[in-house]
A and B are shown apart, each in its own frame.
Chain A
Amino acid sequence: MTTRIERHHYDVVVIGAGGAGLRAAIEARLAGKKTAIISKSLFGKAHTVMAEGGAAAAMGNVNSRDNWMVHFRDTMRGGKFLNNFRMAELHAKEAPDRIWELETYGALFDRTKDGKISQRNFGGHEYPRLAHVGDRTGLELIRTLQQKIVSLQQEDKAEFGSYEARIKVFSETTITELLLDGNKVAGAFGYYRESGEFILLEAPAVILATGGVGRSYKVTSNSWEYTGDGHALALRAGATLINMEFLQFHPTGMVWPVSVKGILVTESVRGDGGVLKNSEGKRFMFEYVPDVFRKQYAETEEEADRWYSDPDNNRRPPELLPRDEVARAINSEVKAGRGSKAGGVYLDIASRLPAEEIQRRLPSMYHQFKELADVDITKEPMEVGPTCHYVMGGVEVDPDSGAAFGEVEGLFAAGEVSGGMHGSNRLGGNSLSDLLVFGKRAGEHAAAYTDALAKRPKVATADVEQAVDVALAPLSRQSGENPYTLQQDLQVVMGDLVGIIRREGELTDALKRLEELELRVANVGAIGGRKYNPGWHLALDLRNMLVVSICTAKAALEREESRGGHTREDFPGMNPQWRLLNLICSLDSDGDVHLERKPVPTMRDELIQLFDRTELSKYMTDDELTAIDALSGEAK
Chain B
Amino acid sequence: MGTKRHFKVWRGDSSGGEIQDFDVEVNEGEVVLDVIHRLQATQTPDLACRWNCKAGKCGSCSMEINGMPKLGCMTRMSTFTDDETITITPLRTFPVIRDLVTDVSYNYEKARETPAFAPPEGVAPGEYRMQQVDVERSQEFRKCIECFLCQNTCHVVRDHEENKEAFAGPRFFIRAAELDMHPLDARTDRKNYSRDHQGLGYCNITKCCTEVCPEHIKITDNAIIPMKERVVDNKYDPLVWLGRKIFRRDELEKQDKATPSRHERENMAPSNTMGVTGVASGTSTPFSSARQPEPPAVGPDGKLDVAEILSQKQGGPSPFGDDHEFPLPSDRVTYHHPTPDKD
Binding site for B on A (CB under 8 A): 41-47, 49-50, 59, 96-97, 100-101, 103-106, 108-111, 114-116, 118, 133-134, 136, 139-140, 143, 147-148, 150-151, 153-154, 163, 171, 194, 223-225, 256-260, 263, 364, 367-368, 371-374, 482-485, 488, 526-529, 531-536
Task: Tell whether, in the assembled complex, residue B112 and residue A110 are in contact, meaning their CB atoms are under 8 Å apart.
Answer: no
Closest Cβ–Cβ distance, residue B257 to chain A (whole Å): 22
Task: Tell whether, in the assembled complex, residue A42 and residue B50 are in contact, meaning their CB atoms are under 8 Å apart.
Answer: yes
Task: Tell whether, in the assembled complex, residue B30 and residue A259 are in contact, meaning their CB atoms are under 8 Å apart.
Answer: yes
Cβ contacts B129-158/A at 8 Å (1 or 0 each): 111100100110011111000000000000
Binding site for A on B (CB under 8 A): 13, 27-31, 33-34, 40-42, 45-60, 73-74, 76, 78, 97-99, 101, 103-104, 108, 111-112, 114-117, 119, 125-126, 128-132, 135, 138-139, 142-146, 179, 182, 185, 214-216
Contact of A532 among B28, B48, B142 (CB under 8 A): B48
> For the complex, what is the distance from the CA of A110 to the CA of B146, rounded to whole Å?
21
Task: Tell whether, in the assembled complex, residue B45 and residue A534 are in contact, meaning their CB atoms are under 8 Å apart.
Answer: yes
User: Interface SS of chain B: helix, strand, loop or mixed?
Assistant: loop
Task: Tell whether, in the assembled complex, residue B56 and residue A484 are in contact, meaning their CB atoms are under 8 Å apart.
Answer: no
Task: Tell whether, in the assembled complex, residue B132 and residue A110 are in contact, meaning their CB atoms are under 8 Å apart.
Answer: yes
Closest Cβ–Cβ distance, residue A58 to chain B (whole Å): 13
A150, A373, A534 interface centre (most CB from chain B within 10 Å): A534
Task: Tell whether, in the assembled complex, residue B28 and residue A258 are in contact, meaning their CB atoms are under 8 Å apart.
Answer: yes
Nearest 7 CB-CB pairs, A to B?
A257-B29, A106-B117, A151-B116, A528-B46, A535-B45, A115-B129, A100-B125
> For the complex, what is the distance from the CA of A181 to the CA of B160, rounded to whole Å?
51
Task: Tell whether, in the assembled complex, residue A368 and residue B27 are in contact, meaning their CB atoms are under 8 Å apart.
Answer: no
Task: Tell whether, in the assembled complex, residue A139 and residue B57 are in contact, meaning their CB atoms are under 8 Å apart.
Answer: yes
Closest Cβ–Cβ distance, residue A62 to chain B (whole Å): 14
Task: Tell whether, in the assembled complex, residue B101 and residue A527 are in contact, meaning their CB atoms are under 8 Å apart.
Answer: no
Task: Tell whether, in the assembled complex, residue B76 and residue A108 are in contact, meaning their CB atoms are under 8 Å apart.
Answer: no
Contact of B53 among A47, A374, A485 (CB under 8 A): A47
Task: Tell whether, in the assembled complex, residue A484 and residue B41 are in contact, meaning their CB atoms are under 8 Å apart.
Answer: yes
A194 partner residues in chain B, CB cutoff 8 A: 97-98, 101, 103
Task: Tell whether, in the assembled complex, residue A372 and residue B48 are in contact, meaning their CB atoms are under 8 Å apart.
Answer: no
> For the complex, what is the distance from the CA of A555 to the CA of B130, rounded to whole Å?
49
B29 partner residues in chain A, CB cutoff 8 A: 256-259, 373
Task: Tell whether, in the assembled complex, residue A111 and residue B55 are in contact, meaning their CB atoms are under 8 Å apart.
Answer: no
Task: Tell whether, in the assembled complex, residue B74 and residue A42 are in contact, meaning their CB atoms are under 8 Å apart.
Answer: no
Task: Tell whether, in the assembled complex, residue A263 and residue B117 are in contact, meaning their CB atoms are under 8 Å apart.
Answer: no
12 residue pairs of the A-B complex, CB under 8 angstroms, read: A96-B126, A100-B128, A106-B179, A143-B142, A148-B116, A153-B112, A223-B54, A372-B55, A531-B97, A532-B48, A532-B98, A535-B45
Residue of B nearest to A115 (CB): B129
B115 partner residues in chain A, CB cutoff 8 A: 154
Task: Tell whether, in the assembled complex, residue A534 and residue B40 are in contact, meaning their CB atoms are under 8 Å apart.
Answer: yes
Task: Tell whether, in the assembled complex, residue B139 and residue A108 are in contact, meaning their CB atoms are under 8 Å apart.
Answer: yes
Task: Tell whether, in the assembled complex, residue A104 and residue B53 are in contact, meaning their CB atoms are under 8 Å apart.
Answer: no
Task: Tell whether, in the assembled complex, residue B56 and residue A42 are in contact, meaning their CB atoms are under 8 Å apart.
Answer: no
Residue of B nearest to A108 (CB): B135
Residue of B nearest to A258 (CB): B29
Contact of A482 among B45, B73, B214 (CB under 8 A): B45
B142 partner residues in chain A, CB cutoff 8 A: 108, 133, 139-140, 143
- Given A103-B125, A257-B29, are A42 and B104 also a contact pair (CB < 8 Å)? yes
- Given A143-B142, A154-B112, A534-B40, are A528 and B128 also a contact pair (CB < 8 Å)? no
A372 partner residues in chain B, CB cutoff 8 A: 31, 55-56, 73-74, 76
Task: Tell whether, in the assembled complex, residue A115 and residue B131 are in contact, meaning their CB atoms are under 8 Å apart.
Answer: yes
Contact of A41 among B50, B139, B144 (CB under 8 A): B50
Closest Cβ–Cβ distance, residue A24 to chain B (whole Å): 19
Task: Tell whether, in the assembled complex, residue B40 and residue A223 are in contact, meaning their CB atoms are under 8 Å apart.
Answer: no
Closest Cβ–Cβ distance, residue B68 to chain A (whole Å): 15
Closest Cβ–Cβ distance, residue B144 to chain A (whole Å): 8
